[in-house]
């Protein structure tokens, strides 16, 4: 080969010169990733950052005067079904129970989201259909498939977030995220 196109420009010369130019292009790519370099960070800190981001999103969704009505799960925003006293099965009036039209999510997507809310503390099955993680700050994240309101809300899964210091700024009640 006498010439090759590398990094959008033509390089000509001997095979060694072309190989050297290709190596330089690969090094340049390696030093300019499209996102933050997380390889040097301990896995726990990455999971903690993700947990905080998810809780901030939840914080924006709960409460009466919530700033937004969408919860981001798996990179997709799902809208909460608003409270309506004439139509049962939606979010509650106080704002700490939100029901989401999330039929597009798989059960695994919802389980992954619950795990992200728990950070690096694993969700352990405590009985069939119920998983619990107790965090060091006292927060309890529960993922459950059973609910007394299943008939009304048509929820497949509910994530309870109880005793979270950040969410306590908005409500002192257990936050319930219900996924249809």
Residue 146 lies in a domain: yes
Q: Do 110 and 73 contact (CB within 8 A), yes or no?
A: yes
Q: List pLDDT tens digits, range 32-81.
A: 655 555 455 555 677 888 888 888 888 888 876 655 668 888 888 888 88
Quote the tokens at residue 68: 């937004």
- The verdict on residue 37 lying in a domain is no
pLDDT of residue 65: 60
- Rounded (10°) angle between helices 107-118 and 43-61: 110
Q: In terms of domains, do 116 and 148 share one?
A: yes
* pLDDT band at 7; cut points 50, 70, 90: low
This prediction has a pTM of 0.70
Residue 45's SS3 state is helix
The answer to whether position 38 is within a domain reads no
- Show the domain range for 72: 43-179
Look at residue 125 and tell me whether its pLDDT is greater than 90: yes
The stretches of 83-122 forming alpha helices (DSSP H) are 107-118
Domain count, the chain: 2
Asked whether residue 25 falls in the same domain as residue 54, the answer is no
Q: What is the pLDDT of residue 57?
A: 86
Is residue 176 a contact partner of residue 158, using CB atoms and an 8 Å limit? Answer: yes
Q: What is the distance between the alpha carbons of residues 69 and 53, in angstroms, rounded to a whole number?
A: 16
The mean pLDDT value of the chain amounts to 80
CA distance 165 to 172: 9
> Which two tokens mark 83?
């409270």
106-113: average pLDDT: 93
- Quote the pLDDT of residue 69: 63
Is the pLDDT assigned to residue 16 strictly greater than 80? no
């Amino acid at each position: 080969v006498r010439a090759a196109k590398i990094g959008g420009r033509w390089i000509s010369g001997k095979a060694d010169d072309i190989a050297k130019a290709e190596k330089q292009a690969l090094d340049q790519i390696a030093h300019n990733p499209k996102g933050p370099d997380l390889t040097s960070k301990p896995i726990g800190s990455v999971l903690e950052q993700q947990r905080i981001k998810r809780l901030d999103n939840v914080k924006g969704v709960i409460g009466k005067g919530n700033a937004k009505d969408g919860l981001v799960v798996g990179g997709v925003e799902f809208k909460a079904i608003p409270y309506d006293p004439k139509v049962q099965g939606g979010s509650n009036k106080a704002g700490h129970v939100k029901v989401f039209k999330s039929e597009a999510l798989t059960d695994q997507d919802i389980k992954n989201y619950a795990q992200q809310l728990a950070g690096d503390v694993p969700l352990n099955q405590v009985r069939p259909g119920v998983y619990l993680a107790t965090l060091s700050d006292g927060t309890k994240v529960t993922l459950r498939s059973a609910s007394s309101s299943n008939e009304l809300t048509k929820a497949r899964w509910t994530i309870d977030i109880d005793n979270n210091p950040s969410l306590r700024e908005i409500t002192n009640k257990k936050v319930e995220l219900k996924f249809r």
